[in-house]
Amino acid sequence: MSEKYKIRNEVMPHFVTFTVVGWIDLFVRNEYKKIIIDSLRFCQIEKSLLLYSYCIMTNHLHLIVGSGGSNKLGDIIRDFRGYTSKKLIKAIMENPRESRKEWLMELFYREGQKRSFNKNFQVWKRNYHPKELYSNKIFYQKLNYIHENPVKAGFVFKPEDFVFSSASNYAGRGGLIDVIVE
């Protein structure tokens, strides 16, 4: 990863985007989104991930995250991406309702073969471009960007109505996963 995209200040929250290779609309099934939610929750509890905001779109997810413990944020992200990749591949393979199974597996396999460090499949694009949120102004710019994503995509009229986002947490309605409301 380029020096430009390294996490330097572990204390500060960071905006990150994880994109499915080929911009494949993987997260059209709730069971795949649930893997992301469960994995974020695990990282909060077991790895001291500080989760400020999230939004799971059809082919990518945005997060504002930090590290609240001895684990480095880059290590938490690496573990999250590796674990979710394996869980998503397994879920696709075992899902009897997945009509795109062969197509998805072929694309993920082909992407995985492009890099020698992969064993088989690659679900996530390699870079996630962490951006340090060094001021309240920048933090709230990114927070609003994340929460407006489903509105701009035409999924909902109001950000807090999108189930797979932290916008409902910020609207005081709770959500699928707890976040640190700033």
What's the pLDDT band for 2 if we cut at 50, 70, 90? Answer: very low
How much is the pLDDT for 5?
A: 61
pTM of this structure: 0.94
- For residue 41, is it within any domain? yes
Residue 121 is assigned to a structural domain of this protein? yes
In percent, the amount of the chain with pLDDT more than 70 equals 96
Domain carrying residue 117? 3-170
Q: Is residue 32 part of a domain?
A: yes
**In degrees rounded to 5, what are phi and psi of residue 61?**
-140, 145
For the chain, give the percent of residues with pLDDT over 90: 85
Sheet holding 49-56, edge to edge: 49-56, 60-67, 14-19, 131-132
Q: What is the mean pLDDT of residues 34-50?
A: 97
163: in domain: yes
81-95 confidence digits (pLDDT tens): 999 999 999 999 999
Domain count, the chain: 1
List the alpha helices (DSSP H) in the chain.
30-47, 73-94, 101-112, 136-152, 167-170
In a domain, 60, yes or no: yes
Evaluate whether residue 182 is within a structural domain.
no
- The span from the CA of 45 to the CA of 59, in Å, is 26
pLDDT digits (tens, 9 = 90+) for 133-152: 999 999 999 999 999 999 99
Residue 119 has pLDDT above 80, yes or no: no
Q: What is the residue type of 171?
A: A
Check the CA dihedral 142-42-82-77 and report its sign.
positive
Is residue 181 situated within a structural domain? no
CATH number for the domain harbouring residue 123: 3.30.70.1290
